[in-house]
Amino acid sequence: MDGESWQVVGTAQGVIKARILEGRLEAEGIPVRLQYEPIGAIYAITVDGLGEVQILVPEIWAEHARRVLAKEYTEEDLDWKAEEPEAESNKQQGEEKEDQTG
């Protein structure tokens, strides 16, 4: 992959925001590199471009990466119901243990 041409597909203000975007791309199977000035990361400075982080992907992935980063999610997009039964069953198990000990 080192011989590939990498393109900037986005920027973020600060390393934390950049890591979130990096995770979104990696979840799609897209290789990612972050490029930033070390001083911005050390002091968490986000003024005049010092804290700007460039998000780079291989050129062949650039268009797909831009589509992924352009997608916005709402609460309706998230499937929270799939997680509820497990949490509910853990709560019920905890209540049963209290009944047995108490």
| Per-residue pLDDT tens digits for 28-44 | 999 999 998 766 556 65
Q: Is 57 left (phi over 0), alpha (psi -120 to 50) or beta?
A: beta
Q: Alpha-carbon distance 92 to 67, whole Å?
A: 42
Residue 80 lies in a domain: no
pLDDT, mean of residues 54-63: 96
Residue 30 lies in a domain: yes
Residue 95 lies in a domain: no
Residue 26 lies in a domain: yes
Residue keyed to tokens 């979130």? 20
Neighbouring CB atoms inside 10 A of 39's CB total 10
Residue 32 lies in a domain: yes
**Domain count along the chain:** 1
Per-residue model confidence (pLDDT) at position 74: 79
pTM score: 0.64
Residue 63 lies in a domain: yes
Residue 97 lies in a domain: no
Per-residue model confidence (pLDDT) at position 37: 74
What dihedral angle (degrees, nearest 10) is formed by the CA atoms of 4, 62, 30, 13?
A: 110
In which domain, by residue range, is 42 found? 6-74
Residue 94 lies in a domain: no
- Domain CATH number, residue 65: 3.30.70
* Residue 72: pLDDT band with limits 50, 70, 90: confident
